[in-house]
Amino acid sequence: MRSTFLPFSPPLIGDEEIAEVVDTLRSDWITTGPKTKRFEAEFGQYVEAPAALAVNSCTAALHTALVALGIGPGDEVITTTLTFAASVNVIEHVGARPVLVDVEPDTLNMNPVLVEKAITPRTKAIMVVHHSGHPADLDALRALAEPRGIPIIEDAAHAVAARYKGRPIGSGNNPAAFSFYATKNLTTAEGGMLTGDPEFVERCRVISLHGLNREAWKRYGKEGSWYYEVVFPGFKYNMTDLQASLGLVQLRRLEAMQSRRRAIVAAYQREFASLDAFQTPIARPEVEHAWHLYVLRLWPERLNMTRNQFIEELKARNIGTSVHFIPIHIHPYYRDKYGYKPHDFPVAFDSYERMVSLPLSPRLSDQDVADVIDAVLDVAATRV
């Protein structure tokens, strides 16, 4: 058994990232400035986006996109119940109603058949979440949305480096929101990016920084001007150059980090896929999975223990885990406001009760991975 605790998803930060941050601290710009602009451009090029806007979180990107689309009271936005609260909170923030749907049993992404049933004349957007980094069935969702003139917003918080039918997530004209939180495949500690149509992204740029009608970061430079006008009651959602410094280096290292993630996943799959106590994650042939998460689903009756007991047993062996996610419809706010019951979304609720996210990070050593595997197998052997 390990002598030290292994966190669920430790960030991989090296000397190059530290040097880039120090360079920023010694420069004239520590908030939004030239490095943020470079990061926007280089990330946009990486995902083949028409345009990109760096913001302080994926939540900010989603909120800004909803505001720019003019979604508000009386409108409905269809999304999944199996997501983090931020995806749905932003719908509440603009005064619209989140309409939740259940997920597919294999990918844990929103089920297009149920999305179609949820569409009403009040539906003003479909917010797609690429759970764990596995792209959702975008063709099926576009076939529902486009003829009806319903925009698709992609919550791509897990999907940096993911591809759907050969195209990077974020390469379309529709809004796509990425997260660079500390546990993500590419981190800026906190931060996010919104991609999409250039005209739409420029509208979001104004909304994301107080509603100022010019690039405010230039105000204090030689080429800038002190004069500005507020054309919209906007937000304070800008990314800083300190964050962008991390992102620029992380982006250069992303392919190597993804390769390491895939190697870890392959090791897990070799050990766990043949055991009837576990349901291992899948990757459909038409996608390139980002492998932000490795979500193992247990069969409690075969293990003779609950998911919570399984997590505690791993913790006793110094292995950290998490759960992604507690379904939206069982959180008190949404449960009480909309009258949801746990089994209203049976696939999501059943999966939630059985799922555990194992450690997955390019920072994990071969010994770390072996320790996770040994711990999981030991718990299974002890309690079967």
Query: Which residues are the active-site residues?
Result: 184
- Strand pairing of 176-179 and 152-155? parallel
CA atoms of 13 and 11, how far apart (whole Å): 6
76, 96 contact by CB (below 8 A): yes
Which residue is it, tokens 């919550």? 155
As a residue count, the chain comes to: 384
Q: Give the phi and the psi of residue 110 in degrees, each rounded to 5.
A: -55, 140
Question: 250 to each of 41, 65, 95, 152, 241, how far by Cα in Å?
Answer: 14, 25, 36, 28, 14
CA atoms of 220 and 10, how far apart (whole Å): 37
62, 153 contact by CB (below 8 A): yes
The residue among 357, 334, 324 whose CA lies nearest residue 342 is 334
123, 100 contact by CB (below 8 A): no
DSSP state for residue 174 in the 8-state scheme = S
HSE-CB of 169 using CA atoms within 13 angstroms: 34
Burial of 2 (0-12, 13-18, 19+ CB in 10 A): middle
CA atoms of 86 and 166, how far apart (whole Å): 28
Task: With H, G, I as helix, E, B as strand and everything else as coil, classify residue 35.
Answer: helix
CA atoms of 204 and 159, how far apart (whole Å): 21
Dihedral through CA 258, CA 287, CA 183, CA 240, nearest 10? 90
Output the six-digit token pair for 375.
């711990």
Vertex 180 angle, CA 369 and 33, to 5°: 140
CA atoms of 170 and 193, how far apart (whole Å): 10
